[in-house]
Chain A
């Protein structure tokens, strides 16, 4: 695993970590001023302190801090979820029209023994990987490949599971030329035409239309510290505040956290993250995500999935009552 990466608000954690690392070095050199026993006691004390600081920090994350956590480079990405949760995974490539889009991971496999179609937007882990996955910004090809797989799901009666983590659909000349808006619009249409269950999990950044295109689901879940927004806080700040530095203020105003979205009735559930965020404990994160997806698929199957029920669900959204 990559070296631990600390976000700016995690400075107290980083300090503790540095102190602990230094003490371990002393322990190794046997030249410390303190006897080994005291050293171990001190290390234990710091370890407990680290846990409590982490708990305190993560209990009260501001919306802007959640934005940072949702983009944490070590956070589990689509490929991690696929590797951990899908057995017999068979990647399927290409939109049969123009190209293969590595930002949109796609294929078929088994989820807890059940055949499923999987789609996941992948940001990449290191620089080379990020370039390969276009930083998680799908092009029209990605959305057209997604539609091809949705058709396959419908044909074989397989549920669709999607993992959403993107700053947004790619804004570029070639994407426009090949109809980025048409590709997204048709993806939304396709999801509202399927009669098989669809579950979407926003795992990191739910960036605008590029995220929604694969998140028009019977059940939409969000990881506790993920975000889902119509525009990035930086983009919103630069337009409405005329200053990208107001991003944290914009993050607050946009109501983009999982708790906000649950309150607004936009999502169906929140998956609790391990203390310190999903990036600190993959195993526990996967266990919880798996359980929640399984629960949702069961519920959908019991209620019966259809294009009518999905359309009715979305038409009813945002019709808020005064409270």
Chain B
């Protein structure tokens, strides 16, 4: 090779895209700012520029909602896997395998007992990273288990949905989870224990139309999409563009559907305060 070729050509030095670790920078979908991922994580995945709440993992959410070192996982009995032997372009069994690899849970949930600003609470979080947080029999079982655990231990319950709705691959069985979860939540309510739902992005379909709307207190995360029918379905039905801010947490509050819109930095203290008032602690 000629020595001439080893001389760098003058001009702007550019690195190929591959050289930059893809996950160092995150573009904020709301303001378009480029955010350093570490800064974003340190700020609970809230944009440091515009305050947009990016989605957050179940682990990271538990870390900021619960006092350090207080969480203890509650195991949920596994139901029959793939009861319908469902197969579309890909088999449900394979989709489950892939989802398990992509997340650290058995299905789209995590149930723990932990202290929220000193208030011992049962928390059940849905995991959007696992098949869009969809509700099948296992997720339904987790909610039932969480409600029953809270009732047995005389503790308040926090549910954090993040879900596209019922899981189609379990057909009618997933629809029935709407009734099952409601039944378990009602038993908890009858025991006089508080139930708070922290609605996060997104919460739609059968999840919204059941336990997610049944909280004594409904707290929504800023900007979260919350609705029954998805925006695309509605747009197809009415054939016109949707109103500004339609189905956001703020829109729901304006229409009287949720109690409050609360940012991540304030949620923990607010939840503890509400529980202390309701239980006269």
Chain A residues engaging chain B, CB cutoff 8 angstroms: 169, 171-173, 175-182, 184-186, 188-189, 192-193, 208-209, 212-213, 216, 228-231, 236, 239-242, 250, 253-256, 260-261, 264, 266, 307, 310-312, 314-315, 317-322
A194 to B: closest C-beta gap in Å = 11
Q: How far apart are the CA atoms of A182 and B233 in the complex, in Å? A: 19
A256→B170 CA distance, assembly (Å): 11
Is B36 an interface residue, CB under 8 A from the partner?
A: no
Interface of B is mostly: helix
Chain A residues, Cβ within 8 Å of B234: 171-173, 176
Residues in B neighbouring A169, C-beta threshold 8 A: 209, 228
**By the criterion CB–CB under 8 Å, are B172 and A266 in contact?**
yes
Total A-B Cβ pairs within 8 A: 168
Report the interface size for chain B: residues with CB under 8 A from the other chain. 54
Q: Do B213 and A181 touch across chains, with their CB atoms under 8 A apart?
A: yes
Shortest Cβ distance from residue A133 to the other chain B in the assembled complex, whole angstroms: 16
Task: Of the listed stretches B41-49, B86-94, B259-267, name the one at the interface; the rest are far from the partner chain.
Answer: B86-94
A140's closest neighbor in chain B, by CB?
A: B228
Query: CA–CA, A241 to B86, complex, Å?
Result: 13
Q: Which of B219-239 contact A (CB under 8 A)?
A: 227-229, 233-234, 237-238
Q: Cβ of B186 and Cβ of A193 under 8 Å apart?
A: yes
Q: A176-B228, A208-B175, A266-B173 are in contact. Are A192 and B83 (CB under 8 A)?
A: no
Q: Which residue of B lies closest to A320 (CB)?
A: B80
Complex: how many Å from CA A178 to CA B251? 11
B144-A315 in contact (CB<8A):
yes
A179 to B254, CA, bound (A): 12
Q: A171-B237, A209-B209, A311-B186 are in contact. Are A176 and B229 (CB under 8 A)?
A: yes
Interface pair B168/A239, CB less than 8 Å apart: yes
In the complex, what residue of chain B is closest to A227 when comparing beta carbons?
B172
Tell me, in angstroms, the Cα distance from A177 to B227 when the chains sit together: 9
User: Do residues B86 and A173 form an inter-chain contact, with CB atoms below 8 A?
Assistant: no
Q: Cβ of A181 and Cβ of B209 under 8 Å apart? A: yes
Q: Which residues of B contact A175 (CB under 8 A)?
A: 228-229
Contact check, B255 vs A179: say whether CB atoms are below 8 A apart: yes
Q: How far is the CA of A239 from the CA of B171 in the complex (A)?
A: 14
Task: Please name all residues of chain B whose beta carbon is closer than 8 Å to the beta carbon of A188 when the two chains form the complex.
Answer: 178-179, 182, 209-210
Q: In the complex the two chains form, is B257's CB within 8 Å of A179's CB?
A: yes
**B84 proximity list for chain A (CB < 8 A):** 253-255
**Nearest CB on A from B213, distance (A):** 4
Residue numbers in B under 8 Å from A314 (CB-CB): 176, 179-180, 182-183
Q: For the complex, is B163 an interface residue (Cβ under 8 Å from A)?
A: no
| B214: Cβ under 8 A from any A Cβ | yes
**Cα distance, A320 to B246, chains bound together (Å):** 39
Bound state CA distance, A228 and B175, in angstroms?
10
Q: Would you call B210 and A185 a contact (CB within 8 A)? A: yes
A208 and B168 contact, Cβ closer than 8 Å, known pairs A175-B228, A176-B247, A188-B178? no
Q: Are A181 and B80 in contact (CB under 8 A)?
A: no
Question: Shortest Cβ distance from A316 into chain B, in angstroms?
Answer: 9
Query: Bound complex: CA of A322 vs CA of B168, how far in Å?
Result: 21
Q: What residues of chain B lie closer than 8 Å to A261, measured between beta carbons?
A: 172
Contact B168 A173 (CB under 8 A): no
B177 part of interface (Cβ distance < 8 Å): yes
Contact A185–B213 (Cβ < 8 Å): yes
**B212 at the A interface (CB under 8 A):** yes
Residues of chain A within 8 A (CB-CB) of B169 are 240
User: Bound state CA distance, A193 and B189, in angstroms?
Assistant: 11
B133 at the A/B interface (Cβ < 8 Å)? no
A-chain residues with CB within 8 Å of residue B228 when the two chains form the complex: 169, 171, 175-176, 180-181, 184, 209
Contacts A209-B175, A230-B168 given; does A320 touch B209 at CB 8 Å: no
Among candidates B79, B168, B210, B233, residue contacting A318 with C-beta atoms closer than 8 Å: B79
Closest B residue, CB atoms, query A215: B179
Q: Does B184 contact A (CB under 8 A)?
A: yes
Q: Taking the complex as formed, is B137 at the interface, i.e. its CB lies under 8 A from any CB of chain A? A: yes
B71 interface residue, CB < 8 Å from A? no
B149 at the interface (CB under 8 A from A): no
Docked pose: A212 CA to B182 CA in angstroms: 12
| Residues of chain A contacted by B187 (CB below 8 angstroms) | 311
The answer for the CA separation of A319 and B144 in the assembled complex, in Å, is 12
Please state if B213 and A182 are interface contacts (CB–CB under 8 Å). yes
Cα distance, A39 to B187, chains bound together (Å): 70
Q: B87-129, CB under 8 A of A: which get 1 and which 0?
A: 1110000000000000000000000000000000000000000
CB neighbours of A240 from chain B (8 A):
88-89, 168-169
Which B residues are CB-close (under 8 A) to A180? 209, 228-229
Cβ contacts under 8 Å, B206 to chain A? 208-209, 230
The reply on B157 being an interface residue by CB < 8 A is no
Judging by beta carbons under 8 Å apart, are A189 and B186 in contact?
yes
Q: How far is the CA of A311 from the CA of B183 in the complex (A)?
A: 5
Extra 4 A-B pairs, beta carbons < 8 Å, given A180-B229, A239-B168: A216-B182, A230-B168, A319-B141, A320-B137
